[in-house]
Amino acid sequence: MPEMRRLLARVGTVDPESVDGYRRAGGYRALAATVERGSEWVLSELEASGLLGRGGAAFPAGRKWRAVAGARGRRRVVCNADESEPGTFKDRVLMEEDPFAVIEAMTIAGLTVGSEDGLIYIRGEYQLATERIRQAIRRAEDAGFLGTDVAGSGRAFRIQVFRGAGAYICGEETSLFNSVEGRRGEPRNKPPFPTQVGLFGDPTLVNNVETLCNVPVVLQEGAAGFRRYGTDRSAGTKLFCLSGHVERPGLYEVPFGTPLRELLALAGGVWRGRTLKAVLCGGAAGTFLGPERLDVPLTFEDLGAAGGTIGSGAVIVVDETGSLWDVVLRVARFFQEESCGQCVPCRVGTQRQLEIVERLASGRGTPTDATLLREIGAAMTDASICGLGQTAAGAVLSALALVPGVSA
Amino acid sequence: MLSERNPASPASEPERAAVERALARLSAEPQRSDLLPLLHALQEDLGWLPLAVLHVLADRMHLPFPDVWGVVTFYALFRLDPPHGTVVHVCDDVPCRLRGADTLLHALEARYGPPRRFAGDAHGASTDGHASPVDWETVPCLGQCDHAPAAIVAGRLRRQVTVEAIETAASAKGAADA
C-alpha cells in the first residue's frame, strides 16, 4: 500500500504562513460547510466517520464532541499539542507546516460544541510550531476566520496559545488543565471527565492535533469518503513517525491496516542493509515488536490483539547491532524522571522498575527479577491514576520476551 | 515587608523591575493562570529564576510562596540557578541515542565536563579549574527524531548536531559577551 497523503496533503507544498495559500489549497471549506449546515451535521458526520483520537487513547472523537455539545454553560475547546512521547513528532510537523488546518479544526469544534474559548497547549520546546501557530491565529483573525464573527456566522471564537514548560505528564488532559490553571501538572481523578468538568471547571473538549486535523477531512469527504481508507474499526489514515535505524527517518501517512513491514519499506527499510532486531511501537508508552511480528496490520484492533499499541504513532527501529538493554534502560529512566510523583504505584513503581532494569542490564540480575518486574508492572497498570503509570511498564515487559535468558 | 519574609536574598532593583515588566504585559491584574506565562517571561528576561524574584512574584500575585515554588520546581524548563556560558539541552532519548547521541554525550563530557543533573548541581567546572564555557544537560525527546541527534543550543534548535557545532555556538556567544 502506498503512502496516502490526506493529513499531509499541504505539508511541503503550501506556504504555512499564508492564509490565502491555505484557502486555495482547500482550506476553510470545512468551516464554511459547518457554518452553512450546522452542529448536528458535523456531529453526525464525525460519529459516522468512526474517527478515533490520535493522541494514544483512541477514544471516539464524535462521542466526545457530542458530550460537550450537550453540556450546559460555558464550554471550552482545548487542542493538546504537548507532544512529548519519545519518538513522536507528527503534531510538530502539522503545526509547523499546516498550522491553519489546526486553527480551522479548532474553530469548527468551537462552533459545533458551542464554545467561544479555544486554547492550544504547545510543549515549551516547540519554538517554530509555537511561532507558526501564533502567526496563523493572527492571520485568521485578520481574515475574519477568528474573532467576534467567525466566517460570517455571527458567532465568536478565539484561540489562546499556552506554552508548556517541560513536563511529559502535561500531555495527560487533566494535568494539562492544572498546568494552564497555574498549578503543578498533576493529573486529576476521573470521573468527572473533561467533557463534564474540564479547564477552569467548565465542560471541555480536548483533542490531539492529529485528531483535529482529521476533522476537516471528514467534513469535506463525508463520513463514507473518510472510511474509504482504513478498516471498519480503525477508519482513515494514520501518521507514523519513523526514527532510529531506518534509511529515511520521517513522517509517513498510510491507511490503517498497512502492515508494519510496508511502513518500514516506505522509510527505506532498516539502514545500512542490516537486519531488524526490534521495533518500539508507540514510543516509551508503547511495546516492542520482534521481527516475527512485521506482518501485523497497523490498526488499533490488530496491534491490541498482538499485545501492542498504536499509541502516538511512534515507530522506533533498532537494528541487529543496537542494544535493546540500552533502549529499555532509557525508557525506564524516562518514566522514573517523568512520573509526577502524585500517586504511589507510579512514583514507587517507576523507581523500582528502573533499579531492576539497571540490574538486569548490567548482568547482575537475580532469578526473581523478571517476576518482580511483572508484579510492579501489574500494580502500576491497575492502580495508577493516569495513563503515564498505566503504560510505564509496557515497553519494559514486552522487551523481556525479546531478550534471551530473562523471561523466566 | 517582603525582606523580612526572605531576609537571605532580598530582590535587587533590577529584579523587581523585571517582575513589573512581566506583569505590565498582562491586560489585567494577574490571575493564577498567568503564573506559567509570567515565569516564562521572567526567565527569558533574566536567563533564570532567582529565588528573590519568585518571592516578589508570589507577593504581587497574592499567592503563598510555597505554591509558586511547587510550580516552578515541577517544570523542567524553569531554571533556579544562574547558567554559566552557553546553555545546551542535548536530547539523549531513544531515537537520538540510536543515531549518535551517545557519541555526542561522551564528546561533550570530555570537552566540557559532566552534565548538570539538578538545580544547583556543582557542574561544569572543567578539569583545569576554569568554568566551562558550555552549561549542558541531557533532556528527554525533543520531537526532532527525523533529524537526530538534536539539541537546543542557546535557545536555538539544532538538528543533526555535532560537538563542533556546539563549540562554534559557544565561542560565538563568548565573543558576543566579551
Given this model, what pLDDT does residue A133 score? 98
Nearest to A171 by CA among A126, A195, A206: A206
pLDDT band at B10 (very low <50, low <70, confident <90, very high): confident
Q: Rounded distance, CA A228 to CA A390, Å?
A: 34
Cell of A278: 526490534
Cell of A27: 482550506
CATH number of A19-226: 3.40.50.11540
Cell of B71: 510550580
Contact A241 B145 (CB under 8 A): yes
Given this model, what pLDDT does residue B4 score? 45
Q: Rounded distance, CA A317 to CA A250, Å?
A: 12
Chain A residues whose CB is inside 8 A of the B70 CB are 184
Residue type, B171: S
Contact A163 B40 (CB under 8 A): yes
Mutation for A interface: B42, B98, B99, most A CBs within 10 A? B98
Q: Rounded distance, CA A174 to CA B76, Å?
A: 19
Given this model, what pLDDT does residue A406 score? 64
Residue keyed to cell 517544570:
B75
Residues paired with A279 in a beta bridge: A289, A317
Which CB contacts under 8 angstroms, 24+ apart, belong to B21-26? B21/B45, B22/B57, B23/B60
A134/chain B closest Cα distance in angstroms: 15
Given this model, what pLDDT does residue B84 score? 84
Contact A249 B95 (CB under 8 A): yes
Please, which residues have CB within 8 angstroms of residue A296's CB and are 6 or more apart in sequence?
A: A259, A260, A289, A302, A303, A306, A308
Q: Rounded distance, CA B158 to CA A301, Å?
A: 38
CATH number of A324-400: 1.20.1440.230
pLDDT band at B2 (very low <50, low <70, confident <90, very high): very low
Which CB contacts under 8 angstroms, 24+ apart, belong to A364-368? A365/A406, A367/A408
Given this model, what pLDDT does residue B127 score? 46
Give the CA dihedral B17, B20, B21, B27, nearest 10 degrees: -170
Q: Rounded distance, CA A71 to CA A36, Å?
A: 23
Contact B39 A284 (CB under 8 A): no
Chain B residues whose CB is inside 8 A of the A120 CB are none
pLDDT band at B125 (very low <50, low <70, confident <90, very high): low
Among A87, A167, A337, whose Cβ lies nearest the Cβ of B75?
A167
Residue ranges of chain A that CATH labels 3.10.20.600: 237-319
Size of interface A-B (CB pairs under 8 A): 130
B100/chain A closest Cα distance in angstroms: 10
Closest chain A residue by Cα to residue B43: A165
Nearest to A223 by CA among A20, A41, A37: A41
Closest chain B residue by Cα to residue A338: B140
Among A86, A167, A179, whose Cβ lies nearest the Cβ of B94?
A86
Helices (H) and strands (E) in chain B, counts: 8, 4
Taking 70 as the threshold, does the pLDDT of residue B121 lie above it? no
A244/chain B closest Cα distance in angstroms: 5
Given this model, what pLDDT does residue B128 score? 56
Interval A54-109: pLDDT, tens: 998 999 999 999 999 999 999 999 999 999 999 999 999 999 999 999 999 999 99
Mutation for A interface: B93, B153, B157, most A CBs within 10 A? B93
B167/chain A closest Cα distance in angstroms: 22
Contact B141 A84 (CB under 8 A): yes
Q: Rounded distance, CA B142 to CA B154, Å?
A: 15
Given this model, what pLDDT does residue B1 score? 41
Contact A244 B92 (CB under 8 A): no
Q: Rounded distance, CA A193 to CA A188, Å?
A: 9
Buried b (16+ CB within 10 A) or exposed e, A216-239: bbbbebebeebbebbbeebbbbbb
Closest chain B residue by Cα to residue A124: B77
Closest chain A residue by Cα to residue B94: A327
Among A167, A181, A245, whose Cβ lies nearest the Cβ of B33?
A181
Closest chain A residue by Cα to residue B73: A184
For residue A354, the SS3 value is helix
Pairing of strands A276-281, A287-289: antiparallel
Please, which residues have CB within 8 angstroms of residue B133's CB and are 6 or more apart in sequence?
A: B85, B86, B112, B170, B171, B173, B174
Interval B140-165: pLDDT, tens: 999 999 999 999 999 999 999 999 99
- Ordered strands of the A237-244 beta sheet: A250-255, A237-244, A314-319, A276-281, A287-289
Cell of A206: 480536548
User: Which ranges of chain B would DSSP assign to H, the alpha helix?
Assistant: 2-5, 13-24, 35-46, 51-61, 65-72, 94-98, 101-112, 163-177
Contact B140 A128 (CB under 8 A): no
Taking 50 as the threshold, does the pLDDT of residue B7 lie above it? no
Closest chain B residue by Cα to residue A322: B98
Given this model, what pLDDT does residue B172 score? 85
Among A86, A124, A184, whose Cβ lies nearest the Cβ of B74?
A184
Contact A249 B32 (CB under 8 A): no
The answer to whether the Cα torsion of A168, A170, A175, A180 is positive or negative is positive
Q: Rounded distance, CA A227 to CA A221, Å?
A: 9
Q: Rounded distance, CA A78 to CA A76, Å?
A: 7
Please, which residues have CB within 8 angstroms of residue A257's CB and are 6 or more apart in sequence?
A: A1, A230, A231, A234, A297, A298, A299, A302
Residue ranges of chain A that CATH labels 3.40.50.11540: 19-226
Please, which residues have CB within 8 angstroms of residue A338's CB and are 6 or more apart in sequence?
A: A167, A168, A169, A388, B140
Residue of B127 and A45 predicted with greater confidence: A45
Q: If you ran DSSP here, which 8-state letter would residue A107 be given?
A: H
Contact B146 A128 (CB under 8 A): no
Q: Give the C-alpha distances (Å, rounded to integers) separating B136 from B88, B121, B127.
A: 5, 11, 16
B40/chain A closest Cα distance in angstroms: 8
Chain B residues whose CB is inside 8 A of the A89 CB are 143-146
Chain B residues whose CB is inside 8 A of the A284 CB are 94
Among B75, B94, B99, whose Cβ lies nearest the Cβ of A280?
B94
Q: Rounded distance, CA A247 to CA A264, Å?
A: 9
Low-confidence ranges of chain A (pLDDT < 70): 1, 405-408
Chain B residues whose CB is inside 8 A of the A316 CB are 94-95, 98, 145
Which CATH class name applies to A237-319? alpha beta
Q: A317 φ, ψ to 5°?
A: -100, 135
Among A84, A250, A316, whose Cβ lies nearest the Cβ of B94?
A316
Chain A residues whose CB is inside 8 A of the B146 CB are 89, 241-243, 249-251
Q: Which domains does chain B have, with CATH numbers?
A: 2-72 (no CATH), 86-177 (3.40.30)
Given this model, what pLDDT does residue B45 score? 96
Contact A327 B98 (CB under 8 A): yes
Given this model, what pLDDT does residue B124 score? 57
Chain A residues whose CB is inside 8 A of the B142 CB are 125
DSSP output for A252-288: EEEETT-BHHHHHHHTTSBGGGPPEEEEEETGGGSEE
Given this model, what pLDDT does residue A405 score? 64
Residue A42: count of CB within 10 angstroms of its CB: 24
